[in-house]
């Protein structure tokens, strides 16, 4: 992995590109203190994913699933965007066409100021009624367990896409369009394991984009991208925006 030339080439590509798409995963928020999913401090390590982030788990034990999300809401409520999030806000300002696809549910991109955004796995600060489908923002920390809908008293669930659930078709369509139209796809802090996001690098490559990855480690995406830069997002991403 040629780190130095990699950075210079990605810098030049970003400086000249009119259409830029970015895909982020939990690695971009790791530098804000939000635990990742599969890393050493990973969330899944202390919890069993199949017992929590699935519709079956919620049907079986909604209180347990809400306890987990309450724990994450309390944790995330104390975290702020880092230099990588803010560098992407600057990139959005510079590019003629910009779209950010995030797998993160922590809401740090909109707080940092990103506007052109798809939160394809949902947002931990949104709740959805299991009866009438109403979606609301709810920032209560903690949220009372087994929260009820303000409109119909139905049981609320996190407005988050669980394993085995389909993504919102509008989010998927918007993401596909941004992946097909971009000259540069920048992938930051994702292990490239979860589909459909894990297929986005190949999709953009097939559509003719220059694809770069920023990650501490190599990932399945590393075989697909043009340049894989090894490093911390909060250091590398701002550096990519420094004019040569």
Cite the active site residues: 121
CA angle 99, 169, 100 (to 5 degrees): 15
Closest distance of CB 96 from ligand BV8, Å: 27
Stretch that binds Zn ion, among 10-18, 118-126, 134-142, 226-234 (CB under 5 A): 134-142
- In 3D space, the residue among 112, 129, 117, 106 whose CA is nearest the CA of residue 170 turns out to be 117
Closest distance of CB 71 from Zn ion, Å: 25
Residue 175 contacts residue 118 (beta carbons within 8 Å): yes
Residue 188 contacts residue 27 (beta carbons within 8 Å): yes
Kindly calculate the radius of gyration of the chain based on its CA atoms and give it in whole angstroms: 18
Residues that bind ligand BV8 (CB under 6 A): 25-27, 30-31, 36-39, 42, 53, 103-105, 121, 160-166, 189-191, 193-196, 214-217, 219, 232-233
Report the distance separating Cα 32 and Cα 234, nearest Å. 9
Sequence-separated (6 or more) residues with CB below 8 Å from residue 166: none
Q: What, of Zn ion, ligand BV8, none, does residue 12 touch, CB below 5 to 8 Å by kind?
A: none
DSSP tag of 20: E
- Provide the β-strand partners of residue 118: 101
- Nearer of residues 151 and 235 to ligand BV8, judged by Cβ: 235
By CB under 5 A, the count of residues binding Zn ion is 8
Residue 159 contacts residue 128 (beta carbons within 8 Å): yes
Q: What, of Zn ion, ligand BV8, none, does residue 26 touch, CB below 5 to 8 Å by kind?
A: ligand BV8
Backbone angles phi, psi at 181, to 5 degrees: -90, -15
- In 3D space, the residue among 216, 212, 244 whose CA is nearest the CA of residue 232 turns out to be 216
Q: What, of ligand BV8, Zn ion, none, does residue 121 touch, CB below 5 to 8 Å by kind?
A: ligand BV8
Closest distance of CB 160 from Zn ion, Å: 17
Stretch that binds Zn ion, among 38-46, 49-57, 148-156, 197-205 (CB under 5 A): 148-156
- Provide the β-strand partners of residue 180: none
Closest distance of CB 196 from ligand BV8, Å: 6
138 lines the binding site for Zn ion (CB under 5 A): no
Binding positions for Zn ion, 103-132, rule CB under 5 A: 129, 131-132
- Nearer of residues 132 and 141 to Zn ion, judged by Cβ: 132
Residues near Zn ion (CB under 5 A) are 129, 131-132, 134, 149, 151-152, 154
């Amino acid at each position: 992995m040629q780190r130095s030339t990699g950075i210079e080439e990605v810098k030049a590509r970003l400086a000249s590109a009119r259409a830029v798409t970015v895909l982020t995963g939990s690695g971009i928020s790791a530098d804000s203190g939000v635990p990742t999913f599969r890393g050493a401090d990973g969330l899944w390590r202390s919890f069993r994913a199949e017992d929590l982030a699935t519709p079956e788990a919620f049907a079986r034990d909604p209180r347990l699933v809400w306890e987990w999300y309450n724990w994450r809401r309390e944790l995330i409520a104390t975290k702020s965007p880092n230099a990588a999030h803010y560098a992407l806000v600057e990139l959005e300002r510079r590019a003629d066409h910009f779209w950010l696809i995030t797998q993160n549910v922590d809401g740090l991109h909109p707080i940092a100021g990103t506007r052109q955004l798809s939160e394809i796995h949902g947002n931990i600060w949104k709740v959805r009624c299991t009866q009438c489908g109403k979606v609301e923002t709810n920032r209560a920390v903690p949220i009372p367990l087994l929260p009820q809908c303000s409109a119909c008293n139905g049981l609320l669930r996190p407005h988050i896409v669980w394993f085995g659930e389909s993504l919102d078709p509008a989010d998927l369509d918007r993401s596909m369009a941004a992946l097909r139209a971009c000259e540069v796809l920048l992938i930051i802090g994702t292990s490239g394991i979860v589909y459909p996001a894990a297929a986005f690098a190949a999709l953009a490559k097939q559509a003719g984009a220059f694809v770069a990855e920023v990650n501490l480690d190599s990932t399945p995406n590393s075989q697909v991208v043009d340049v894989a830069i090894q490093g911390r997002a909060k250091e590398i991403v701002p550096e990519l925006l420094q004019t040569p």
